[in-house]
């Protein structure tokens, strides 16, 4: 049974791809609604796989994963899109749509949710300006630089104020000043009630944040105390 107030809960969760070895092993933890956590660990530790389980993009081999109080195994296939619409995701491979402009990529979650363009045009434009893409709103993704694509993917993930935000290496292709700016955006979203979960190698950002850390090593999870730092 999910504890009241936990938006994500793992109980003895292990995961493997096909017949390969476990990439996650015996994970048990709970993330309260409205919390903000970093997931750290070396490459191959299982950070991206953990996020996929939360997004229902992968299934546990053993154990129980709960998201929004629902057992992931009991979510019907036809109901998965509705669950995912409550989650904003910044993927490592970004998954931008090359045939849509930067503006339309960023606005896509609102369009899918049924909002009219007239109702969100100003908000999307403001958000794109905030992440430094105000003069690139009409550009198509293939014409954007790597850092610009990263910022566009972040704008798309947060535009609908999701209940959960999953970000996989969101500062990987941006400079340090922009990384801090993006982090402040995540902090503001968290203040509005979004549960934020960031997988990152950026130890400096983690240290400055003062946020709780879940550390993965060889697929196993270690809870660490918040690092020292006052936050950006």
**What whole-number distance in Å separates Cα of residue 66 and Cα of residue 69?**
6
Q: What is the mean pLDDT of residues 178-190?
A: 88
**Residue 118 DSSP one-character state:** H
pLDDT given for residue 1 in this prediction: 40
| 220 sits in which H/E element | strand 220-224
Question: First and final CA of the chain: distance in angstroms?
Answer: 37
CA distances from 61 to 27, 43, 70, 108, 192 (A): 12, 21, 17, 32, 34
* Chain CA centroid to CA 201, Å: 14
| 155 sits in which H/E element | helix 146-158
| Span 37-93, pLDDT tens digits | 999 998 889 999 999 999 999 999 999 999 999 999 999 999 999 999 999 998 888
Q: Is the pLDDT of residue 167 over 90?
A: yes
Indicate the domain borders of the chain.
36-57+77-224
CA distances from 229 to 204, 211, 224 (A): 10, 9, 14
Q: Are 137 and 103 in contact (CB under 8 A)?
A: yes
For CA atoms 155, 219, 210, 33, the dihedral sign is: positive
Fold classification of 36-57+77-224 (topology level): Rossmann fold (3.40.50)
**What whole-number distance in Å separates Cα of residue 179 and Cα of residue 131?**
10
Q: How many CA atoms lie within 13 A of 139 on its CB side?
A: 14
Confidence of residue 154 (pLDDT cuts 50, 70, 90): very high
């Amino acid at each position: 049974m999910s504890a009241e107030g936990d938006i994500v809960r793992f109980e003895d969760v292990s995961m493997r791809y096909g017949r390969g070895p476990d990439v996650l092993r015996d994970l048990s933890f709970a993330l309260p609604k409205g919390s903000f956590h970093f997931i750290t660990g070396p490459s191959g530790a299982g950070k991206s796989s953990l996020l996929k389980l939360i997004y229902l993009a992968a299934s546990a081999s053993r154990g129980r994963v709960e998201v929004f109080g629902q057992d992931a195994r009991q979510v019907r296939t036809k109901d998965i899109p509705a669950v995912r619409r409550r989650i904003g995701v910044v993927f490592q491979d970004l998954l931008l749509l090359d045939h849509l402009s930067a503006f339309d990529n960023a606005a896509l979650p609102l369009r899918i949710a049924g909002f009219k363009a007239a109702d969100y045009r100003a908000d999307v434009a403001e958000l794109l300006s905030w992440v430094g893409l105000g003069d690139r709103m009409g550009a198509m993704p293939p014409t954007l630089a790597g850092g610009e694509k990263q910022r566009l993917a972040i704008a798309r993930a947060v535009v609908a104020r999701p209940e959960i935000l999953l970000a996989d290496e969101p500062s990987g292709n941006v400079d340090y000043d922009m990384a801090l700016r993006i982090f402040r955006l995540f902090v503001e979203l968290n203040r509005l009630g979004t549960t934020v979960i960031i997988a990152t190698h950026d130890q400096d950002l983690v240290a400055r944040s003062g946020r709780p850390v879940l550390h993965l090593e060889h697929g196993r999870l270690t809870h660490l105390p918040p690092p020292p730092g006052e936050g950006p």
